[in-house]
Amino acid sequence: MNLVIGVLTLGGVIALRNWFSLYKRHRIGHGYSSVPLIGGALLVTGMWMLPVTRPYAWAGVFLDYGTLIVVLRLPRLANELWSTSRFNLLSEYVGHRGSMSACLRLFRKGRFTLVQRIDRPPGTLGFMGRSMPGTWQREGNRVILLHGAERAVLEVVQKEPKALQWTTGFPSTERNEELSLAGINLSLRTGRAA
């Protein structure tokens, strides 16, 4: 019985903290992040352990904001995973400049991912990489990438139609010399040319 009380108490404390973080975020404008799944899992487990509350154990999911948010976002997460899966990959472009490498993947339904990696010697501080999702569209011989309010433009290299060249990068990326993509050519690695 002490174990059940301990599990329910811990789950309740985490659930209260999660709801308080939501309140604080709306009231003050900032707050702590909620702890996903743990509070709800503890509440469900504790309620399942008590014969009286066993039929209502599922309610533990709704009593914890952190767990509730995860459950509500599962369909969106599944859609994101599917839309950027290998099954929907149209083409993949890679390019290098110095120690920085970039991989641009274009997916069906206008989705893209851009992954940048910087190889650094051990013990050196700085960016190691960055990943960016967004939408893309084709306009003539240009590929337009949109990430939030930012926009980048790539053009098909005339001499090599299976390559793209950055003409206008994302402003947030171009402010950092190491992550700047200006002038870098991306060669087609897999799929068909955009």
What is the tens place of the pLDDT at every residue in 106-117? Answer: 999 999 999 999
In this prediction, residues 138-146 reach a mean pLDDT of: 92
Q: CATH 2.40.128.300 residue ranges in the chain?
A: 88-191
The model's pTM: 0.71
Q: Identify which of 150, 120, 147 has the alpha carbon closest to the alpha carbon of residue 131.
A: 147
Q: In the chain, pLDDT over 70 holds for what percent of residues?
A: 97
Fold of 88-191: Lipocalin (2.40.128)
In whole angstroms, what is the distance from residue 100 CA to residue 176 CA? 12
Per the prediction, the chain carries an average pLDDT of 88
Q: How far apart are CA 45 and CA 14, in angstroms?
A: 14
> Residue 29, SS3?
coil
More confident: 183 or 189: 189
Q: Is the pLDDT of residue 127 over 80?
A: no
Q: 101 pairs with which residues across the strands?
A: 96, 117
- Residue-wise pLDDT for 42-67, tens only, equals 999 999 999 999 999 999 999 999 99
Nearest-angstrom CA–CA distance, 67 and 63? 8
Measured CA to CA, the distance from residue 17 to residue 39 in angstroms comes to 9
Q: Which residues contact 93 (CB under 8 A, 6 or more apart)?
A: 103, 104, 105, 106, 163, 164, 186, 187, 188, 189, 194
Judged against a pLDDT cut of 80, whether residue 191 lies above it is answered with no
**C-alpha span between 105 and 136 (Å, rounded):** 10
pLDDT for res 112: 95
- Dump pLDDT digits (tens) for 151-175: 999 998 877 768 898 888 888 878 8
Greatest CA separation for the chain: 75
Q: Is the pLDDT of residue 141 over 70?
A: yes
